[in-house]
Amino acid sequence: MIEDKAVSNERRHFLKVTSGIAAAGITAGLLPSTANAKNNHQSYNARHNKSIWNKVKKQFVLDKNTTYMNVGTTGSMPSSVLKNYYANNLSVAENPWDMQDKFGEWPYTTEMSTSIAAGLGANADEIILSRNTTDGMCSILNGLQFESGDIILTTHHEHVAAESPLHVVSERYGVEVIYLDIPVDTGDENITEQEFVDLFTHAVSEYSGRVRLITFSHITYKTGTRLPAKRICQEVAIPNEIPTLIDGAHAIGMLDLDLHDIGCDFYAGSGHKWQCGPGATGILFVLNGAQRLDQYWSDRDTSLWFINSSLGHADYLGAQLQLQYIGNDNYPAKQALADACAMWDEIGRDVIEERVLALSKRCKQQIKSAFPDAVIYSPDIDELASAITSFNPFADVNDSDTLTAFRDALREQTGFIIRTTDFKVQQSDTLDTHALRISTHLFHDEDDVDNLITAMKNVFNSMV
């Protein structure tokens, strides 16, 4: 039943968005964002002050016997976020009835969405708190009113979060999904933003009038390549009135995003990866209630069905509420995601991006020196780089067993935790390419990167 009662602030006893850096005794003044910095010299000193980043690092309860560098799979909640998460779960367990007292007015997530939106360059009514990237991707792809003969453009380096619903709509509606071969860096670092833009431009031209959606990963999980999302949206999609759905699983919490500036129609991301919220949390951005989609798809009576909703019938409530409300939800988890986002905003998302990309660049450059025969698949090119590094240290070995053995030996012998990945450099490849994948984040420092390289070199020498 839909509730519509006002509740005074005095009655509320839920834990609002107050965890983050401020609750840990670290203030935004110590790590001023570029936009707020009054003195560039002071800003630089603060942003590169090791003692300050050590305070940030101490916010995380990661096992001290390991160095966790697999954030691209799952992050780690900060201790202050964990504390509030526990307290909110306890409060719900003690009194499961009155969610309004704990989390505000029905649907109980409004203040959370509002607190998150500004940090992502979105309006409050454009943010839906989902379960994860897959949840957001499926809600949009399976909700769009495709018809036989429609074309969706995507890339050959997408996650199953996109590939699975793309398969469903292809089988269900007769949609043709075109997987474009995106450029893959193999160490020569000569790929460019323009290549990606040209790839989508030429495909739109080739299938003139039939392309109904462009969807791609902002950062590919396979190689960590950052696609020029803004240029694809603004130079290709918008002029041709094609909606865009971006898989942002690895961007939220890593990059300083401005979703309005990017210009996409939909953006789905994870709460549990780089944003370091709890599992089964995510963020779905829907531009202006999907009104532009209605303009682009004016030939369809209904452009977007709210298939993952308890209010799919209630159009008068608006897109955000329809997509948000799926019955009873895990409100403590969603509050914990909002708390984690508050911590990131307190530090400054631009500061975090600068920090994690600098650590990743250090990692890539040291790999080149320590493993001269290695193949690095992650661009060390500023506009295409991310905090993910995928590489194979073995010059003539490309098999899963060897790299898995390397990964396991690294963990067992040194405590460094990374992962393996596989992909095709080109779709026509008969064999998969295998690589190791490293994630550098705000709870790492230069010593972690340097020690990782040394540890990997030792393991490598023991295997060759």
- pLDDT for the residue 417: 98
Q: pLDDT-based confidence at 32, cuts 50/70/90? A: low
Expressed in angstroms, the distance from the first to the final Cα of the chain is 65
* pLDDT for residue 42: 55
Residues 37-60 have a mean pLDDT of 75
What is the pLDDT confidence band of residue 17, given thresholds at 50, 70 and 90? very low
Report d(CA 304, CA 145) in Å as an integer: 6
Looking at residue 190, the DSSP 8-state letter turns out to be -
pLDDT in tens, 239-248: 999 999 999 9
* pLDDT at residue 65 greater than cutoff 90: yes
Instruction: Return the percentage of the chain with pLDDT > 70, whole number.
Output: 90
Closest CA to 240 of 203, 268, 266, 267: 203
189-223 pLDDT, tens digit each: 789 999 999 999 999 999 989 999 999 999 999 99
Q: What is the mean pLDDT of residues 161-168?
A: 96
Helix or strand holding residue 130 (H, E): strand 127-130
Mean pLDDT of the chain: 91
Instruction: Kindly give, in sequence order, each residue whose CB lies less than 8 Å from that of residue 263, ignoring residues fewer than 6 positions away.
Output: 230, 233, 234, 237, 238, 244
| pLDDT of amino acid 29 | 47
Mean pLDDT to the nearest integer, 282-286: 98
For 422-437, how does the pLDDT look when each residue is reduced to its tens digit (9 = 90+)? 999 999 999 999 999 9
Q: Given this model, what pLDDT does residue 4 score? A: 39
How much is the pLDDT for 447?
96
The tens digit of pLDDT for each residue in 316-345 reads 999 999 999 999 999 999 999 999 999 999
Structure tokens given for 194: 């323009």
Residue 27 predicted with pLDDT over 60:
no
For residue 40, the model assigns a pLDDT of: 61
Decide if pLDDT at 461 tops 70. yes
What percentage of the chain has pLDDT greater than the value 90?
Answer: 85
When pLDDT is averaged across residues 448-463 and rounded to a whole number, the result is 98
Overall average pLDDT of the 393-399 stretch: 91
pLDDT at position 1 is 37
In 287-430 the beta strands, taken as DSSP E runs, fall at 375-376, 388-392, 416-417, 419-423
Average pLDDT over every residue of 59-83 = 97
For residue range 118-131, what is the model confidence (pLDDT) as tens digits? 999 999 999 999 99
Q: Is residue 39 pLDDT above 90, yes or no?
A: no
Question: CB 95: neighbour CB atoms within 10 A?
Answer: 11
Instruction: Give the residue carrying structure tokens 């963020």.
Output: 283
DSSP string computed for 263-322: T-SEEEEESSSTT---TT-EEEEEGGGGHHHHHHTTTSS-SB---S-S-TT-GGG-HHHH
Which pLDDT band, with edges at 50, 70 and 90, does 35 fall under? low
Whether the pLDDT of residue 6 is over 60: the answer is: no
Q: Confirm if 193 and 379 have CB atoms less than 8 A apart.
A: no
3-state DSSP assignment of residue 46: helix
Higher pLDDT, 18 or 151: 151
**Could you tell me the pTM of the whole model?**
0.92
| Higher local confidence (pLDDT), 445 or 104 | 445
| Residue 283, beta-bridge partner list | 129, 269
What does the alpha-carbon distance between residue 97 and residue 266 come to, in Å, rounded to a whole number? 34
